[in-house]
Structure 1
Amino acid sequence: MADPIKTPRLISCDEAGYTGPKLLDDNQPYFAYAAVDLTPDEASAIVASARAKFRVQAPELKSSLLRKRDNWPEIALDILKPVKGRAMVIAADKRLNLAGKTFEYIFEPVLEKMNGLFYHYDLHRFVMNGLYRILFVTGEPAPKLAEELQAFMKSFDPADAPTVFAAADKSAETHEILACVLRFARGYAAAIAEQSKHLQKQVNPTAKWTLDLTTTCLFSLLLHGWGHHYDSLDVLCDDSKPLQAMAHAFDGFVGRSDSAELIGAGSRPATIKANLANPLRFGSSAANPSLQIADIVAGATTDLLQHQADASYRDLAMWILPHMHPHTMLPDDDFIDLNRPKPRMNLAALQELARRADHGEDPLAKMDEFYESQLAIERKAKSFPF
C-alpha cells in the first residue's frame, strides 16, 4: 500500500466567468477560479448522486447549464455540502482588476526601483479602489477611459490610450485621484513606453493573456493554499488556453519541497510553498468528475456575487464564504476612505508624484522621507495607533 504522506494529492481546478483579457464584459463582471481536494472516486460518487437526484440528462455537471434551473442555488448547495473544507475559490471583480492593472502597468514601470515602499503603504490598493469607484458606476457602460486602459494593457502601446497619455481633463467631474493618474501617465509616458516594450504582443507571445486572471488565481490557490496543506500535489486543470501558454511558470515548483518568503505587495512577507509531483496536467471535465465539482464551486461563486441581495442565495453564501481564498479581489472602500490615515497619506503621495510628473522631476527622490513626513503628521494628529 502506498504511503499516504508521499502519494501526491489530486487538486482539480476550473473557472467560471472567463472572458480572457477582456475585463469590461458587462454580462460577466466576476471571475472565479476553484480548486478542490477530491479523489476521482469521491468526485464520481458526488456527481452520480447529483445526476440522479436532479435528473441531469447532460453528460456532465456544468454550472452554465444548471444555473438555468429555478432552484439552481439549492442544487449547487446540495452538490457542495460533501465538499465542505475540501475546496478553495478565488473571486475577482474584473473591473477592479483592470483598475489594479493600471497601477501595475502605468506606475510600476516608473516606480519599480523603489516599489517596496509604495506597496508597503498600499498605494497600489489606493489607486486600484479609487479608480474603480471613479470609472465604474453600477448600471452604466464602461467609459471611454476604461476602454483605453484595457486597450493599452493588451498592446502596451501608448497610441491605444490617447486620453490616458494626454493632459488630464480639468472638468468639474474629474476626480482628484483620476486627475493625478492621468498627469502621472502623461509626465512619464516615455519611461512607461520604454519599460513596456518587452510586453508588447509582437515580442512576447503570452502578452495576450496579461490581463487574464486564471494564472494569478492558480498561483494563489497552490502556493498560498493547498501547497501548505499537503507534501505533494498533482494538479489537474480543465483545458485552458491561457494556462497552457503559461504552464511553464509552474515548472519550477516540480519536486520542490522547500518554502520561500515572498516580499512585495504588502507590508508583511508571505510564505509560498507548493511541491508539484509533475507539471500541470490538463484534462476534460467530461472525463474527470473532480473538474465538474470545481466547475460547480466556481460557477456558484460568480452567481452569488451577481445575486448578493437575492434571499435564495443566502444558504449557498454560508457555504461559499468560508471557502473563499484571502486573495479574493473585491472592492474595499477602506483603502480610499479619507477619514483613515493611510488613505490620506496615499492621496498626498499620489499628488506629489503627479506634481513631479508635471515638472519632469525624479519620481523616486526622497519619497521615503515624504512618506515619513506624512506619517509624522498623522502621528501628531494621533490618528495612527503607533
Structure 2
Amino acid sequence: MAEPHADLPPTLISCDEAGFTGPKLLDDNQPIFAYAAIDLSADKASALVDEIKAKYRIQAPELKSKLLRKRDNWPTIALEVAQRVDGRALVIAADKRLNLGGKAFEYLFEPVLQAKSGLFYHYDLHRFVMNALYRVFFIAGKPVPQLAHELQAFMKSFDPADAPTLFAAAAGEKETSEVLDCVLRFARGYAPTIASQSEHLQADNNQSAKWTLDLTTTCLFSLILHGWGHRHDRLDILCDDSKPLKAMAHVFDGMVGKTIEADLSNGRQEAKIKAHLANPLRFGSSADNPTLQIADVLAGATADVLQHVGEEPYRELYSWVGEHMHAHAMLPVDELIDTRYPGPRVNLAVLNELARRADKGEDPLKGMEDFYAEEFRKVMPQPRGLRALLRTLSRSER
C-alpha cells in the first residue's frame, strides 16, 4: 500500500543549534544547549530574513545569533523573528551539567540495573540521581569538582582509569553529600559489571563514542519522533553542518522511505513515536539556506532566555519559548530531589539500599519491587480512619 500523500513534496524542516561544545559539558561560558527546528519554506524564510535585516539595519550577510547578541536590541530582534514563525517552530534545550548527571545514571547505573530498569525509571530514580548530582556538583560560585571532570572523561573514553576517584578500590573519606556517597559506593561495588558493559563503547574501537555526551543527536531525535513526525506525513530534514550529526546520521536512515510508528514506554507512561523521512538527513550552510538562519536565531534566543530568566528584555521572549518548548527539555527540577515529598524520599532510600548492596556484593535487583512498595508504605500518609482501625485491631489482638 502506498504511503499517504506520497505524491506531495515533503515538508522542509530546518534545524540549527546554539551553545554547541560537543562532549564538553562543563563549559562555564555556555551552560545551555538549545536546538531549534522550523517548518518554513525557503522562499518565506528568505523574505523574512531580508525584512528583518532591512528593519533593523543589519549589515551582516546573514542573521546569526552569535553576531546579533552583540547588539543592544538583540532581544527585540529575536522576539520579532520568533513571533513571525509562531506555531511553526519547536525548540528544545538542555542544561549541559544536568545532562552530565543524566549520563552518569545511564552509564553507571543502567548496566547494573538493566534487567529491571523499567522499575527504576517508573519511580524516577534516574531523574532523582541526575538532579541530585547537578545540585551537589554545581553549587553557585564554587569550582567544578574533580569528580565531575572524571565523570566527563570516563563517559568519553569508557576507560575506568580516567576516573580513579569514581572507581577507586577503597573508598576514601565519606562524602559530605549522601547522594554522592551512594553513587561512589555503587560505582565501586559494581565496577566490573560497569566496565564490561562499557567495553564496546571505548573510543578506540568506536568512532561514535566520542559523541556520547553530545546533545545534538538526542535533541533531533526528540524533535522528529516526538514532534514534526506527528505533524507531517513526510519530512525533509535540513541541518546546519554538524560533526556529531554527520557521525551519527546513519541512525536516522531507518526512517527513510517508510513511516516509523510505535508506542514506547519511558517507565511511567506510553508515548507514541512517528516519523517518515523522504530522504537521509541533509546538511547545508546558513549562508546558502535562509531557513537555517531563522533556526539559528531561535536556538540562540532559547539559550539566552534560559540564562536570563526574569530579566525584563527577555520576558516576552520567555513566554514564546515556553509555548514552543519540547516536552523532552532537560532542565533542573527541584521537586524531584525535595525529600519533603514521598517520591524523592523513597528514591533516597532506594539509592542507599543499592549502595549497601554494592558494598556487600549482593544482587542489586532481588526483591526491589517489594523494597519500593515498603518504602512508599512508610512515607505515604494513611487516612485517619485507617489509622484508627489499625489501632483498634492492635488493641483487640492483645
The TM-score range, normalised by the shorter chain, is: over 0.9
Question: Structure 2: how far apart are the matches of 1:130 and 1:176?
Answer: 10
With normalisation by structure 1, the TM-score equals 0.95
Query: For 1:354 and 1:303, how far apart are their aligned partners in 2?
Result: 39
Mapping for residues 159-238 of structure 1, pairs under 5 Å: 159-166=161-168, 167-171=170-174, 174-238=176-240
* Paired letter, 1:335: L
Give the Cα–Cα distance (whole angstroms) in 2 for the partners of residues 302 and 272 of structure 1: 26
In the alignment, which residue of structure 1 is the partner of 2:113? 111
Identity %: 67
* Alpha-carbon distance in structure 1 between the residues aligned to 2:87 and 2:267: 27
User: Contact 1:5–1:231 (CA<8 Å) still a contact in 2?
Assistant: no
Code of the residue aligned with 2:278 in structure 1: it is A
Aligned match of 2:327:
326
CA displacement, residues 266-311 of structure 1 (integer Å, 9 cap, x when unaligned): 3012110011111111111110000000000000011111111321
Structure 1 position 339, deviation (Å): 1.0
- Closer, same or farther in 2 for the Cα pair 1:373/1:77, shift >3 Å? same
How far apart in 2 are the matches of 1:286 and 1:4?
Answer: 31
Q: What 5-or-longer segments of structure 2 have no aligned partner?
A: 385-398
Comparing 249-258 and 225-234, the one that deviates more: 249-258
**2:271 corresponding residue in structure 1:** 270
Aligned to 1:138: 140
Contact in 1 for aligned 2:160/2:167 (Cα 8 Å): yes
Q: Which residue in the other structure is 2:306 paired with?
A: 305
- The answer as to whether partners of 2:183 and 2:355 remain within 8 angstroms in 1 is yes
For 1:141 and 1:235, how far apart are their aligned partners in 2?
Answer: 40
What is the deviation of 1:258? 4.5
Query: Which deviates further from its counterpart, 141-150 or 306-315?
Result: 306-315
1:382, distance to aligned residue in structure 2 (A): 5.6
Structure 2 length normalisation: TM-score? 0.92
- Deviation of residue 168 (structure 1)? 4.5
The worse-fitting range, judged by mean Cα deviation, of 218-227 and 6-15 is 6-15
User: How far 1:378 moved relative to its partner?
Assistant: 3.5
Aligned partners of 1:237 and 1:282 also within 8 Å: yes
Tell me, in whole angstroms, the C-alpha distance in 1 between the residues paired with 2:313 and 2:381: 50
Q: Which residue of 2 aligns with 1:290?
A: 291
Deviation at 1:7, TM superposition (A): 2.3
**Aligned residue runs from structure 1 range 1-386, under 5 A:** 6-166=8-168, 167-171=170-174, 174-263=176-265, 265-379=266-380, 381=382
Partner secondary structure for residue 185 of structure 1? helix
- Residues of 2 paired with 1:357 and 1:158: CA distance? 17
Aligned CA-pair RMSD: 1.5
Determine if contact 2:216/2:245 at 8 Å carries over to the other structure: yes
Per-residue deviation, residues 316-345 of structure 1 (Å, max 9, x unmatched): 112211011111111001111111111111
Cα distance between partner residues in 1 of 2:193 and 2:297: 44
- Partner Cα distance (1:187, 1:348) in 2: 18
- Say which SS state the counterpart of residue 36 (structure 2) adopts: strand
**Native 8 Å contact 2:342 2:380 kept in 1:** no
Distance 1:50 1:168, change over 3 A: farther
Say which SS state the counterpart of residue 165 (structure 2) adopts. Answer: coil
Quick one: which amino acid aligns to residue 53 of structure 2? R
Inter-partner Cα distance in structure 2 for 1:168 and 1:71: 53
Give the superposition deviation at 1:380. 5.5
- Residues of 1 paired with 2:143 and 2:171: CA distance? 21
For 2:275, what is the secondary structure of its paired residue?
coil
* Distance in 2 separating the partners of 1:169 and 1:324: 43
Q: Which stretches in structure 1 are left out of the alignment for 5+ residues?
A: none
Amino acid at match of 2:335: D
Counterpart residue identity of residue 83, structure 1: V
Return the offset for 1:379: 4.1
Separation of aligned partners in 1, 2:49 and 2:381: 61
CA contact (8 A) 1:169 1:179 kept: no
Q: How far 1:257 moved relative to its partner?
A: 2.1
In the TM superposition, what is the alpha-carbon distance from 1:51 to its structure 2 partner?
Answer: 1.0
Q: How big is the shift at 1:61?
A: 0.5
In the TM superposition, what is the alpha-carbon distance from 1:88 to its structure 2 partner?
A: 0.4
CA contact (8 A) 1:26 1:141 kept: no
State how far apart, in whole Å, the 1-side matches of 2:145 and 2:380 are.
39
Q: 1:270 is matched by which residue type in structure 2?
A: A
How far apart in 2 are the matches of 1:156 and 1:74? 44
